[in-house]
């Protein structure tokens, strides 16, 4: 079963290499593309003050963080939670840079050693909407994700919003129909097949508007794949 973690961080500034640290981590779990509620959230004491510009973005005061745990205290809990999952991050190099620096300071290897694939939704959005603003707020507006409660950046709230954005970017919950045929488990109820041979099923033709909408969806999927969809290749052959 596919397990994905939407991850976001807030930091004291913009440069992990220059000593800025993580102050908040928010994680939202998707299993089979559905929210499970098994989320993870940490506030962290960075051991330094936030840069004034960063403080204006996240609004998390230095005083609030003084009694919070250090990253080294929660590192193993975080890694156990993320273990083996695919990660989805907006502007992944930024968050990964900070997480890898924090792990390095605890003597651990980079995050990629513990997780599966890492998807950057900013890269996805730039491919789908070239030349347009692709910040999280811009994508929420474009994809009709309600971000009215986002007055300041917060790692868990942003991860929750990004989960909705990601599902919309990948065509929603019904993007692909996947049917798994498992062997019946002990105690499972068996259902007999219903014979439809004697039933006259009506044929409902799509309207012109529905056909146009379908073609628009196919066009978006083809664009997102870089023109590699099978149906376009067959049309052009």
The catalytic site residues sit at: 153
Nearest CA to 57 out of 3, 162, 137 is that of: 137
How far apart are the C-alpha atoms of 4 and 133, rounded to whole Å? 25
Exposure class string for 49-85: b at 16+ Cβ within 10 A, else e: ebeeebbeebebeeeebeebeebeebbeebbebbeeb
Bridge partners of 3, per DSSP, are 31
Q: For residue 149, give Cα distances in angstroms to 83, 153, 154, 160, 161.
A: 31, 10, 11, 12, 10
Nearest CA to 153 out of 4, 9, 5 is that of: 9
Residue 184: phi and psi, rounded to 5, are -60, 135
């Amino acid at each position: 079963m596919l397990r994905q973690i939407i991850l976001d961080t807030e930091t004291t500034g913009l440069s992990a290499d220059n000593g800025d640290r993580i102050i908040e981590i928010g994680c939202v779990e998707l299993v089979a593309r559905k929210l499970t509620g098994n989320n993870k959230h940490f506030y962290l004491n960075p051991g330094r003050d936030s840069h004034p510009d960063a403080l204006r973005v996240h609004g998390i005061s230095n005083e609030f963080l003084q009694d919070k745990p250090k990253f080294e205290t929660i590192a193993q809990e975080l890694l156990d939670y993320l273990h083996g999952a695919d990660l989805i991050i907006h502007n992944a190099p930024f968050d990964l840079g900070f997480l890898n620096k924090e792990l390095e300071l605890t003597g651990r290897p980079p995050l990629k050693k513990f997780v599966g694939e890492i998807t950057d939704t900013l890269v996805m959005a730039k491919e789908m909407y070239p030349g347009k603003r692709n910040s999280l707020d811009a994508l929420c507006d474009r994809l009709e994700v309600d971000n009215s409660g986002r007055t300041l950046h917060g790692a868990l709230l942003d991860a929750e919003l990004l989960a909705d954005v990601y599902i919309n970017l990948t065509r929603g919950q019904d993007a692909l129909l996947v049917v798994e045929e498992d062997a019946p488990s002990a105690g499972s109820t068996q259902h007999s097949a219903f014979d439809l041979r004697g039933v006259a099923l009506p044929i409902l033709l799509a309207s012109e508007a529905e056909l146009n909408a379908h073609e628009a969806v196919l066009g978006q999927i083809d664009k997102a794949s870089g023109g590699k969809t099978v149906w376009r290749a067959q049309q052009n052959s």
